[in-house]
Amino acid sequence: MSCNHLSVILFTLFLLALIIITAEAAIQPNPNCPKTCGNQTIPFPFGTSPDCYLDEAFFITCNHTNHDVPKPFLKGNTEVFNISLLGNLVISSPLAHDCYNATGFQTNVSKSILQFEKFSVSETRNKITVVGCDTYAVVRSFTAGNITTGCPAWCNGLENVKSGSCFGVGCCQMDIPRGTREFELGSSSLMNHTRSQSFNPCGFAFVSQEGYYNFSSSDLLGFQREIRNLSFPVLIDWSVANLSCDEARGNESSYACRSEFSECRDSSNGYHCDCRPGFQGNPYLVGGCIDINECETSNPCSGTCTNLPGNVSCECPEGYEGDGRKEGAGCRRIPKDRGPIFLYIALGVILGILLFLAVGTWTYFIIRKRKLLRMREKFFHQNGGILLQQKLWKEHGSFERDITFTEEDLKKSTNNFDDKTIIGQGASGTVYKGQLPDNKLIAIKRSKVSDQGQIEQFINEVIILSQINHKNVVKLLGCCLETQVPLLVYEFIPSGTLYNHIHDQKLSLELTWDLRLKIAAETADAIAYLHSATSVPIVHRDIKTVNILLDENYNAKVSDFGASRFIPTDQAQVTTLVQGTMGYLDPEYFHTSQLTTKSDVYSFGVVLAELITGEKALSFNRTETERNLAMYFVSLVEENKLFRILQDQLVLDGNSQQLKELASLAKRCLSVKSEERPTMKDVSVELQSLRSTMYNNGDANKYSNSSKLSVGERSGTSISFNSINYSLNFSDIESMGRQTQ
């Protein structure tokens, strides 16, 4: 081989070695990097100076100014209290507030904003808290599905506020949206604190670790005195990169688990590195995981202990036998002459094991079947099955119990409740799309947690839907109570929600004027039916465009009756805990807690305004005066400036007169005083009249989608349970009913 060839080979090997060393150094800190900032330890991949952190997301500023002891800050302005290599850190989050003077003028306001690239706010270990007597938190999450949500707190005086309770009176708490990496938290007021100036001129909202804050009525004033200095600890989940372990291992140069004795662990937002069992230290550093000498720290051996990498070896001394462990067989002296007795004992043990296995196999299937029946019966009682039977018998005098749905049927229809079949999620549960063996599509509502509040809401929805027989109400097909959480089965509505059709730019173009009028009329007819055609009037209590579904022919279907309430015929109103959605909530009901059928009329008025304007019921992208669609819409109608907010495509269709009439109807529905609002029956009649006028004038020929509309038919609701023999059966209850009559 020539000298030139040898030189080329040596040079190539040198370059390869240099590349490997450079790649290794790229994700390893400088040996001289500071390990602390003040009293806080700063472990890699975090660092306080160049060449000391993995990337910019892990850069920690060690601030020496204005502090006796230096303090670490993330992104330059967020104080860090603790960094854990288990994948979380604790930071400081400021208090958001809004304050008003006695005239209702806003004097002071601030927001709390958290923004991260690779980190997320832990949704399981933090809470959003609202403190105030005329306050609601407004949360905008840009990474958790780009959602806006909130939580209201209200009280009429300090005497009504209970310290330690945070369920809406003076204090309200809610969960963090899942996957939140950047969100904006603010507080706002419905009445500018004019009714609570003496004891609560400000409203407050903050994020904190769950269990850190315990509400006290004194905070309604105490927070105001410490607004500038108040901050709260928030737990943040961090990961090396938004990759799975398998994906990360595919790129050796950027793989962060550098220790020889490290292992990768998947998390919800990426992957983490841990030291293997028996090792401790920093898995992100080369040589960072160090063997634990268990012989010195815990010594699990009763005999001689020998430390091994990640483990120990235990040996019994000469003349003894066993595994040598304290929690095992230990060490016992070896008999000098075991003789035949040992053989008999060993044979007896083997025969005993074989007999045990034979008996166990023989009884396994019988015990398994009985256990399954007992478990199903337990779940049936736990999920309120007996209570539901009794209520249905009380309402109807009888009830059906067909074997319509079993847990196995519903698992098969959803591929064992695969996440890919999820079509909706809410506070009360998850909705899955399923397909039965006969190819019929169904929607399955599965409660999140089997607690008493969820059970009562579940039973309430079944009872309500068992009273309803209307073509524009989503039909309940059955239920299954013999599972860990109750399941409701509905007809599947394929085209999604009215909300999506209004606010999706492409879908919105399909909603012509006659389709919008048709949807409004059908929804009004369904609500009027709830108020006046059922045996006991029903108030839906959560009418909004998200709860109005559309089938393939754009027929409206009112859904989600979990919050609905019966109103006895001898009562005009009932007093309840305020429940509903901000933006659609009847202000009179919000302030008095007096629920009437007119509360649904107000919510429907917001739906009408949303239909013809294309605007959201509550939007923080609009100015403060225009933020609430209901108030803004009414003001424009009163000022004769309606066409400033109407959706362009509706105005271009040449329906100005009908738009004015519909806007006038919506304005009456949105009257602040309930007695000034029309009944739902009157609203339905007016909408049907508007449709008739449109068709009589020949306007229907302008819309090609009209041919797709179908009337549909009303059908009854059948409530179904699985077949298990319970102590309370149908014949017993019906017999009890005849005796009481």
Count other C-beta atoms under 10 Å from residue 113's C-beta.
14
497 CB contacts (<8 Å, ≥6 apart)? 545, 546, 547, 548, 549, 550
Q: How many CA atoms lie within 13 A of 631 on its CB side?
A: 15
> Cβ of 543: how many Cβ atoms within 10 Å?
29
Separation between Cα atoms, residue 420 and residue 703, nearest integer Å = 36
Cα 370 to chain centroid, rounded: 36
Cβ atoms of 470 and 526 within 8 Å: the answer is yes
Q: How many whole angstroms from its chain centre is CA 621?
A: 24
Strands 120-121 and 126-131: unpaired
Tokens of 99: 């304050």
Residue 262 β-bridge partners: 275
Q: How far apart are CA 612 and CA 636, in angstroms?
A: 13
In the block, tokens 């038919």 appear at 713
Beta strands in 554-685 (DSSP E): 556-558, 565-566, 574-575, 594-595
Catalytic site residue 291? no
Q: Of 656, 675, 709, 708, whose CA–CA distance to 586 is shortest?
A: 675
The whole-angstrom separation of Cα 727 and Cα 386 is: 10
Going by C-alpha positions, the residue among 443, 52, 208 that lies closest to residue 219 is 208
* 679 closest CA partner among 669, 664, 689, 687: 669
**CB–CB of 36/13 below 8 Å?**
no
CA dihedral over 643, 649, 652, 654, signed as positive or negative: negative
**Polymer length of the chain:** 741
Asked if 61 and 76 count as a contact pair (C-beta separation under 8 A), the reply is yes
CA 473 to chain centre: 26
Peptide bond into 152 cis (omega under 30): no
Taking the C-alpha atoms of residue 79 and residue 234, their distance in angstroms, rounded to an integer, is: 11
Which is catalytic among the residues 237, 409, 542, 600? 542
Nearest to 600 by CA among 635, 565, 557, 551: 565
β-bridge mates for residue 209, sequence order: 126
The residue behind tokens 């609570």 is 196
| Beta-strand relationship, 60-63 and 71-74 | antiparallel
Q: Cis peptide leading into 45, omega within 30 of 0?
A: yes
Active-site positions? Answer: 542
